[in-house]
Amino acid sequence: MATIIKNGIVVSSGGQQKYDVKFVDQKIEQIDPVIQPTESDQVIDATGKYLLPGVIDDQVHFRTPGFEHKEDFEHATRACAKGGVTSFLEMPNTNPTTTTAERLDEKLELAQGRCLVNYGFYIGATPDNVAELQKVQRTPGIKIFIGSSTGNLLVDDQTALERIFAETDLPICAHCEDESTIRENQKAIGDSNNVADHSRVRDYRAAIVATKRAFELSHRYKHQFHLLHVSTADEIPLIAEAGDLISAEVCPHHLFFSIDDYERLGALVKMNPSIKTKADNEALWKALCDGTITVIATDHAPHTLEEKQQPYPDCPSGLPAVENSLALMLNQVNRGLCSIEQVVGWMCEAPAQVWHIANKGKIEIGYDADLVLVDMKLEHQVLNEQQQTKSRWSPWHGQQLQGRAVQTWVMGREVFRYENGFEQYAEQHLGEEIQFAR
């Protein structure tokens, strides 16, 4: 069956224009100022709304297998559908970790039939799994924890890092916080129950030392590298000079939260890399707007509220964000701080480009019908009790936003609709494995 979305404003990073968009089965077939429907076509009236490519979130932790009490594919991908996210790339710090070809295949199998949206999974690096990293194909790339975070994945030994950059071909991304610096800081600060000390333990130096180290390896081995979740102003000049092999991303929490928020939100804003100052928020926003940082991802990392309420340092790091990231950015558009075209660039086009994702990230003929219809006028409040993530909380609880996804299609199938205050989700979990065109 064909579907025609009529009278919507179609957005790309290059501009916006009123078009009708027709998709048949999974693919976009026609984009024209006016498309005449036949009797059998399903017609959606999008007058006054914006049609965006589905968001691709290239950094999420969906906790399956092993930590399903925090999150699972069903909850997480409902959250995605609600937030306009039609594809996700998930991290390997599950239990077991995704560090062999076999484990990767197992994860892909687990996801099949349980996701409303499209899925892909990174392979995690360990100090001695280069042979596995060389073997895998069904992955966007290799994730290295150069500093430890949730779980026990860590590669900070120089020889092991050299081997990964020298002997593998897949794109590499990394969590850049220097482990030795973290340990030194920890020792200097000593025992503490003050969650704000998290930003002193994982400070600027930790971020910058690890980022420099990764960039040097990427340059020396001419290896494509993506810097995950930049948190400091100090890393921006490095990114600006890094050249074409290197890309960088920022997360909403590093744009919108600072150390001033520990007082109000406590461990809810404890994450790795840690939050920094308001000046860092501003510098990161500027770097995003001037094109130094090209990608927005969430690092959606849910933990239960009970876990988060443990005293520091036992409270785990990470927060859920996948269902609010697009709305947070659309709110920025409404505040006049960026354009909707830029949002499409950061959240749809750039991640598809960085990860070589075939046929996604744009509204073009022949591309997959992964689409999100957005109402820029709709005001709404983020509320814990309305969150779809299994952890059922958001650090943005109580915040009023303007602009949100009202309808989401994945491979031509409607997976989410918001109408008259009610949310509807598809019952079948038909999200597909993402193909990488390397």
Token couple for 159: 């020889």
- Residues 24-83 contacting ligand DOR, CB under 6 A: 61
Catalytic residue numbers, as ranges: 299
Please, which residue, 44 or 154, has the CB nearer to ligand DOR? 154
Pairing of strands 118-121, 85-90: parallel
Residue whose CB is nearest to ligand DOR in the complex, by number: 318
Please, which residue, 214 or 271, has the CB nearer to ligand DOR? 271
In single-letter form, the type of residue at position 371 comes to L
Please, which residue, 12 or 148, has the CB nearer to ligand DOR? 148
Half-sphere exposure of 54 (CA within 13 A, CB side): 36
Q: Examine residue 271 and tell whether it contacts ligand DOR (CB under 6 A).
A: yes
Q: What's the angle, vertex CA 208, arms to CA 204 and CA 209, rounded to 5?
A: 115
Q: What is the dihedral of CA 354, 322, 414, 25, to 10 degrees?
A: 20
- Residue 335 DSSP code: T
Among 54, 83, 318, 361, binds ligand DOR (CB under 6 A): 318
Token couple for 193: 């129950």
Among 149, 211, 294, 394, binds ligand DOR (CB under 6 A): 149
Q: Examine residue 301 and tell whether it contacts ligand DOR (CB under 6 A).
A: yes
Site string for ligand DOR, 88-107 (x = CB under 6 A): -----x--------------
Among 168, 231, 272, 331, binds ligand DOR (CB under 6 A): 272
Q: Examine residue 150 and tell whether it contacts ligand DOR (CB under 6 A).
A: yes
Of the candidates 72, 86, 84, 146, the residue with the CA atom closest to the CA atom of residue 120:
86
Token couple for 350: 């750039």
Helix (H) or strand (E) holding 49: none
Please, which residue, 150 or 388, has the CB nearer to ligand DOR? 150
Pairing of strands 50-53, 371-381: antiparallel
Please, which residue, 64 or 342, has the CB nearer to ligand DOR? 64
Token couple for 117: 């949206």
Q: Examine residue 147 and tell whether it contacts ligand DOR (CB under 6 A).
A: no
Q: Examine residue 391 and tell whether it contacts ligand DOR (CB under 6 A).
A: no
- Residue numbers at the binding site for ligand DOR (CB under 6 A): 61, 93, 149-150, 175, 271-272, 299, 301, 317-318
